Structure 1
């Protein structure tokens, strides 16, 4: 009820999401956020290049990303996958809304993905922070794996499974849009004002 998401995040209509799911290759996005100092974006691409299914991979890079773009392209060169690099910040969700799945590091992107109805695979760097998104996973709005080699392999296997079981992604889309309600900022402001009014009473 109190989740605040950017006004740039617009819900993906069910019919649009179904249309995206019907297209081949399966369109997925990677958004590890910020500078991505450990360059996990490259690590993920190196794992996805071995996926048995063809993928259209959108790589959303923040303004602070300073690693080699060429290395990202080379990671999937010679494979059946397509990769599109997008350097964006303000327009990130305009890019992600055309995908069927986003891979992220957990955090605000996870909640924004749930709000717009985009299934997410989360690879948090620190497992002790999983509790922040655990409820979303328990209620079927996202998946969470460890941010190590084992987690990356589980990510790849799940994407291969979803590629041939796309109805499961549609179910996750429908679940996610029910969990995170719009106008969270308004409810937060109302709660603060209500709380403040109790202290103002003589």
Structure 2
């Protein structure tokens, strides 16, 4: 089973690759939801440290998926589907936890979103699966092609992650932001649930 990449499908692979990566990173998802939430709770400056955790999570996840997909097709064709279900289950669990802790949001001593949490969610983010199967070149393309893809990806991830944090931090610009933190958490939880549900539906549709 071969997953064609954009670099193979278009004569201007790098340009199309950059546009696709940017579009996908800008769309709401588990990681972006948590970045927004962190910005709305802790502000821009304190939340910028999370970008490193997101970057490392994506770099590792994409690398694992690229290697995994190169081997799984011959050994266990159903393995990618199982992995997607596991990722969806973890995102749903994160959403449930976020919903349950919403009443304490904004209170002194309320737990924030740390690098470890963001790293784990990003590591299981289905977007990494998309990047590995559609955007990044296959491992057979060589080290140079992979490094180019990682360079393009990294150059786009950092500003886009900062943008999501900044949008969340904008909530703090209003005097009544803190009392509304539980509502922000509830909305973020619903977004995560919806994202998890969409993954389950896509898996079921292929059964």
TM-score by length of 1: 0.26
Higher strand residue share:
1
Greater relative contact order (Cα < 8 A, sep 6+): 2
TM-score by length of 2: 0.26
Higher helix residue share:
2
